[in-house]
Structure 1
Amino acid sequence: MKTTPKGLRLQIGIFGRRNAGKSSLLNALTRQQTSIVSPVPGTTTDPVEKPMEMLPLGPVLWIDTAGLEDSGALGRQRIEKSRRILDRADAAVLVVDADLWGDFEEGLLQELRGRKVPVVVAFNKSDVTPPQATVREKLSSQKIPCVDTVASTGQGVPELREALIGVVPDDFLRPPPLLADLVTPGELAVLVTPIDLEAPKGRLILPQVQAIRDLLDGDAICLVVKEHGLRAALERLTHPPA
């Protein structure tokens, strides 16, 4: 899945204060040591990207960002890089120290909503201090999902994944068909696939793979031939293709 272009992946940004546990949460979500974790604030300096497959969403790109309340000259540069991720994000996780909800979190939440980026709030370190009931009620009244997590143990991570699946744009759950709306289940589609010098060795290019998968998902029958084999393939068919 690493070869899937970024533009075809659901890009999920992980935002919040420094040391809120963003990197630890990314490691728990990906089940890998993707980001460096340290108690020192500002450990994440540049956005860290991790592609993976997340069912039923398909290919996603997790993006761990530096704290958006960083300070100093370098801090401003880190903030600028993190804010660029806001422009790319299709969905967001707002990571909050469970008992720390202030103007910063409120402002970031409203900015995400203003950009129409679906967001899930992760109250991290909830084993130490539970989130404030008033904050939880306020988020619930705004129909913003919130999940209690403990990134260091993985607690709440499955629930966070489910919450994200529930808020992502429908296009990522039910992408528009490429060919399946033209070919009914059981019909035959013949795909003419040139293999020339510019084709990648040992594999098809992405649009060809997507077309084949779309037809198979629509229960169509798919026959793939090169251009010089089309006549021979058609002559062997007892019924014409769709």
Structure 2
Amino acid sequence: MRQVSNLNETPRGMRIAIAFLGRRNAGKSSLLNALVGYDLAIVSDQAGTTTDPVDKAVEINPLGPCLVIDTAGIDDTGELGQKRIEKTNAVVSNADVGLIIIGDGQWTSYEEELVAALQGKQKPIIVVLNKNDRFDYRELEIMLQERKLDYVTTTAVTDEGIADLKQKIRELKNVSGLEDPSIIGDIIKAGDLVLLVVPIDTGAPKGRLILPQVQTIRDILDNDATAIVVKESELADTLAKLGNPPDLVITDSQVVLKVAGIVAEEIPLTTFSTVFSRFKGDLRQMVNGVQTIDKLQNGDKILIAEACTHHAMADDIGRVKIPRWIVNYTGKKLQFELAAGSAFPADIKDYRLILQCGGCTISRTAYGNRLQTAAAMGIPITNYGVAISYVQGVLSRVIRPFPELQDLFNP
């Protein structure tokens, strides 16, 4: 799990992902450099300079924090080219906005495929008619107007049209629901006191907190509430010193059973992982999926899906602890397989259950795609924290702070 030390840094998973798409030599990299204001991508007249997708977290004035993704040409050739195209298609799926760049005055079947893919995922599209100084785009503009496809004309090397492109993206952001909602803003109010229980162990190096904890602290402050952070060993003393009980307690999932035993039943309690499961995706789907644990049989395969590629520790939560807890709970001989990184396996049909991490390093769009893929293939999926709370017998209490799940509470 990623650690951060700067509360002012916008995490990659909370940035708008803008994909630069198009055929080879359309000027995607030049356009990206012009948009961010410096040489981020390698530029060359030779077609196919960009091979694998390259993403970078940037601040684009006046858009704010973005994740720009430069991709290989969608018309790449050969066996290696096909693999590059597959990676580009994955970017299309996970992006929030798709820029289709044209650099030769032509509209081809490749652009049609990109439009179909983006519209199929209900992604906002902006067609960028690049190299406007060299090609006559008047007929193409008429076609785009007739099809009601948003577009802008640019000449990246001179920055012509770049301000217009920024404004187009900004308008899409405002009208397409791309703004991230508050993490817990709908279950707390101004003036509330939120107590955060944060174990300090080898997973949290000196001077750092893990990303979900930092994001939650910032969200509490943004909602004009107060955050108090304690270790689980100091929890009981802290509660005793408070004049009034906290309005909400959020704990690391690894100590949820201990915390549940300390925090009075009437005080709302949940976990960071559960909060982020709700923020990033569909908590109800995760809660429904976790019940598959009771149906597991010997030999069943379980996918551990980690969105990041952190250094695995001896007692790693996803790779060691959760598998051990599930095996102890079920008494079954199970097979656990790991998929780490931003790419989600295309073929998941052989898995009986998917255990997904909190996804703090990927966008809500990318996280949602994982849930949709699992649902489409009929594979139950749940979340690390939901699974831990379930096998430790406290899930009903952990989901109680969320009113939309009140029908799932145990009496």
What TM-score comes out, normalization by structure 1 length? 0.82
1:127 aligns with 2:133: yes
What SS does structure 2 have at the residue aligned with 1:211? helix
For residues 142-184 of structure 1, the C-alpha deviation after alignment (integer angstroms, 9 at most, x for no partner) is 4432112221122322332332233358554032x33222221
**142-151 or 75-84, which deviates more:** 75-84
Contact preservation (8 Å) 1:2, 1:52 = no
Distance in 2 between residues matched to 1:124 and 1:17, nearest whole Å: 12
How far 1:95 moved relative to its partner? 0.4
Relative to structure 1, the CA distance from residue 71 to residue 122 in structure 2 (aligned partners, 3 Å threshold; closer, same or farther) is same
Contact preservation (8 Å) 2:74, 2:88 = yes
Alignment match, 2:180: 174
Distance in 1 between residues matched to 2:140 and 2:3, nearest whole Å: 38
Aligned counterparts, 1:80-119, within 5 A: 80-97=86-103, 99-119=105-125
Distance in 2 between residues matched to 1:2 and 1:159, nearest whole Å: 37
Query: For residue 153 of structure 1, what is the amino acid of its counterpart?
Result: T
Contact preservation (8 Å) 1:2, 1:51 = no
What SS does structure 1 have at the residue aligned with 2:158? coil
What SS does structure 2 have at the residue aligned with 1:69? coil
Alignment match, 1:191: 196
Gaps of 5+ in 1: none
Contact preservation (8 Å) 2:14, 2:180 = no
What SS does structure 2 have at the residue aligned with 1:52? strand
What SS does structure 2 have at the residue aligned with 1:182? coil
> For the aligned residues, what is the CA RMSD?
3.1
Aligned counterparts, 1:1-242, within 5 A: 8-54=14-60, 59-97=65-103, 99-132=105-138, 134-168=139-173, 172-175=178-181, 177-242=182-247
Distance in 2 between residues matched to 1:75 and 1:170, nearest whole Å: 33
For residues 180-213 of structure 1, the C-alpha deviation after alignment (integer angstroms, 9 at most, x for no partner) is 2222112222222222232233111111112111
What SS does structure 2 have at the residue aligned with 1:173? coil
Contact preservation (8 Å) 2:124, 2:176 = no
What SS does structure 2 have at the residue aligned with 1:38? coil
Distance in 2 between residues matched to 1:87 and 1:158, nearest whole Å: 26
Distance in 2 between residues matched to 1:85 and 1:218, nearest whole Å: 33
- Percent identical pairs in the alignment equals 45
Query: For residue 141 of structure 2, what is the amino acid of its counterpart?
Result: R
How far 1:232 moved relative to its partner? 4.3
Distance in 2 between residues matched to 1:2 and 1:59, nearest whole Å: 19
Distance in 2 between residues matched to 1:7 and 1:237, nearest whole Å: 34
Distance in 1 between residues matched to 2:74 and 2:57, nearest whole Å: 23
Distance in 2 between residues matched to 1:111 and 1:230, nearest whole Å: 50
What SS does structure 2 have at the residue aligned with 1:189? strand
Gaps of 5+ in 2: 5-9, 248-411
Relative to structure 1, the CA distance from residue 230 to residue 89 in structure 2 (aligned partners, 3 Å threshold; closer, same or farther) is same
What TM-score comes out, normalization by structure 2 length? 0.51
Relative to structure 1, the CA distance from residue 187 to residue 79 in structure 2 (aligned partners, 3 Å threshold; closer, same or farther) is closer
Distance in 1 between residues matched to 2:90 and 2:97, nearest whole Å: 14
Relative to structure 1, the CA distance from residue 96 to residue 218 in structure 2 (aligned partners, 3 Å threshold; closer, same or farther) is same
Relative to structure 1, the CA distance from residue 179 to residue 9 in structure 2 (aligned partners, 3 Å threshold; closer, same or farther) is same
Distance in 2 between residues matched to 1:103 and 1:180, nearest whole Å: 45
Distance in 2 between residues matched to 1:81 and 1:27, nearest whole Å: 21
Contact preservation (8 Å) 2:3, 2:210 = no
What SS does structure 2 have at the residue aligned with 1:216? helix
For residues 86-118 of structure 1, the C-alpha deviation after alignment (integer angstroms, 9 at most, x for no partner) is 333332110012733344323432332223222
Distance in 2 between residues matched to 1:216 and 1:126, nearest whole Å: 46
Alignment match, 2:275: none
What SS does structure 1 have at the residue aligned with 2:127? strand
Equivalenced residue count is 240
Contact preservation (8 Å) 1:57, 1:173 = no
